[in-house]
Amino acid sequence: MSAISVVMGTYNDAATLPATLDSVLCQDFPDFEIIVVNDGSTDPRMEEILQEYTRQHSRIRLVAKPNEGLTRALIDGCAIVQGEYVARIDAGDVMLSGRLAAQAQVLDEHEECAFVSCWTEFCGPQWEPLWLTKGGPESAEPLAVLPDDPRQGLLGDIPHHGSVMFRRSAYERVCGYRPEFYFGQDWDLWYRLAETGSYQVVPHALYRARFFPTSISMMRKRFQDEVARCSLGAFVARRLGEEESVWLQRAQACRPDSFAQGKCNDTAGQEPGLYFIGEALRRRGDPRARPYLVKAMRQAPTSPRAYVRWLQSWFPAGAGQA
């Protein structure tokens, strides 16, 4: 089996980083390294945690740099990988048993396969189950996911950025992550990798991702939506033989103001994330929805949606849907 480099960026993730690292270190794959890029963390506990893990585990290679965001951290991390395959993981998430071996087997057995994902379990901040995303295509073999009409996007769906493993050779062929994409750097890369080879989803839950009220997708959704349009627009332009620079310029303009790694300590801005998590739990009939909805009500007292969902949470799931 080919060697694997697991790459992650981290910024002030002291509370969740140990679980993430432990989940990688517990993998039964024989030959892998972990590259952790400390993206200018200001929490002194981060240095203590990273130095302790580095001292105890020779597999871990640490890169320290000024804060520039996740994309730059991944560019720097992927620049020093030694493995033939690169596996992603996000700080705060965990990979489940057998993830590295299962994905490496796909790439070992299918030379035309450029990248591979797996089913992903999405959870709340305390690992409350929210839903399972299987992605696609559903196939026992890797498939080409380029559509005849590029405006369709890819024919495949990638469950989560951290769930993917890709060939280093394919990554280098497409020049890797692009700094124009401060947000949404993953889909820009998937589109370009798909132009070099096939894609497959391992039909097992091998990755567990967490939603936090402060995550990028919760607090900067408009940026995420705009960058998604830019990555698709650049893909369509390339496939039609047109210039993609206008889309890269639009992506470049999607920048945070006072963010680091897309995170924010402004509690007043967390209402969308609190509501989202609470509603996902409510739809599962999970009473743990209520504290999230109560916090959302307190942060947006003039908005009725959290109040309505909180009332509905006391009834069976699906009852009284608005």
SS3 269: helix
The answer for residues whose C-beta is within 8 angstroms of residue 220's C-beta and 6 or more apart is 183, 256, 259, 262
Contact 23, 94 (CB under 8 A): yes
What is the pTM for the complete model shown?
Answer: 0.92
Task: Give the pLDDT of the chain (322 residues) as one tens digit per residue.
Answer: 579 999 999 999 999 999 999 999 999 999 999 999 999 999 999 999 999 999 999 999 999 999 999 999 999 999 999 999 999 999 999 999 999 999 999 999 999 999 999 999 999 999 999 999 999 999 999 999 999 999 999 999 999 999 999 999 999 999 999 999 999 999 999 999 999 999 999 999 999 999 999 876 666 778 889 999 999 999 999 999 999 999 999 999 998 764 444 444 445 578 999 999 999 999 999 999 999 999 999 999 999 999 999 999 999 765 545 4
247 closest CA partner among 262, 267, 232, 259: 232
Give the alpha-carbon dihedral of 118, 98, 5, 199, to 10 degrees: -30
- At 260 the pLDDT is 45
Token code pair at residue 30: 């024989």
CATH superfamily of 4-210: Spore Coat Polysaccharide Biosynthesis Protein SpsA; Chain A (3.90.550.10)
| Domain residue ranges in the chain | 4-210, 267-312
- At 222 the pLDDT is 81
> What letter would DSSP give residue 58?
T
- At 275 the pLDDT is 95
SS3 87: strand
- At 219 the pLDDT is 64
